[in-house]
Amino acid sequence: MKTWQKAALITLVTLAVGGIYLLSVFEHRRNLGVLPQTAPDQNLTPDDVAIVRMKFPTSFDDVLKLQGASVWMKNGYTMPYFPYQAGHIVFPKRIGVIPSARQLEIRKVIKAVPPADIDDGISHGTRQAFAVFTLPNSPDLYATVIGAIDGNQEEYFCDVLFYYDDPHTIYDNWPKNVWAAVDAHQVIPGMNELQTRMSIGQDQHVDSAGEGTRTITYNQAGKKWTITFVEDRATAIQTN
């Protein structure tokens, strides 16, 4: 191919590329009113965007930082607690399970070996970690398990068990009548699943995985609740 032919070919290619670019610019300017598609709204509720702090503890030194702190039970009506007397946990005198949203004042965090026949919902490992706490307006000390230690392996469940801020302030958008029901550990029509768990606990059996529209049976320390939710609102409430 001669030199002038090569130059002509390069010029044609350049003009073709330039023409495609100009055509795309022209189409873009002609359709200024067409906006790029965006993801649909997720319809987040105030509960969805509420700030629930987490600490992600991975060592015993991490959970020692809870000493002197106030926490509120998140995993209500599931965690047993025991008297703490003379520097020991009195395992044979199990008191019950800690109610939802109950405030605990953590006095210290200890390690202990529970009896083999104690079922506290957490693997025994070689030792367990316990929070020793008081309840409001009471000087008595109690203990509840917060983690397990097995040799060099440690696992702590504080983020699952506790709110680190008063849930009344976390969910300050809830109406007064809802908080009154939660504080009394009752359920009223219209409460959603989160509010119901806050009131009567996490010990539940569900009939389907579709949160918000299903029937759930709750075990509130021996009291059974069967609640039907439609569009995340309690519509039928039965107790026995």
pLDDT of residue 80: 97
Packing angle, helices 193-200 and 176-183, rounded to 10:
30
The C-alpha angle 80, 83, 87, rounded to 5 degrees, equals 125
Check: pTM over 0.85? Answer yes or no. Answer: no
Q: What is the pLDDT of residues 35-69, one digit of tens each?
A: 445 444 568 899 999 999 999 999 999 999 999 99
Residues with Cβ within 8 Å of residue 10, at least 6 apart in sequence: none
What is the domain partition of the chain in residue ranges? 49-163, 176-239
pLDDT of residue 41: 52
pLDDT of residue 63: 98
Q: List, as one string, the DSSP characters of 4-73.
A: HHHHHHHHHHHHHHHHHHHHHHHHHHHTTTPPPP-PPP----HHHH---------SHHHHHTTTT-EEEE
Task: Label residue 14 by pLDDT band (50, 70, 90).
Answer: very low
pLDDT of residue 12: 40
CA distance 163 to 102: 10
pLDDT of residue 230: 96
Per the model's pLDDT, the better-predicted residue between 19 and 170 turns out to be 170
- Lowest average pLDDT, out of 31-45, 67-81, 133-147, 201-215, goes to 31-45
Q: What is the pLDDT of residues 78-122, one digit of tens each?
A: 999 999 999 999 999 999 999 999 999 999 999 999 999 999 989
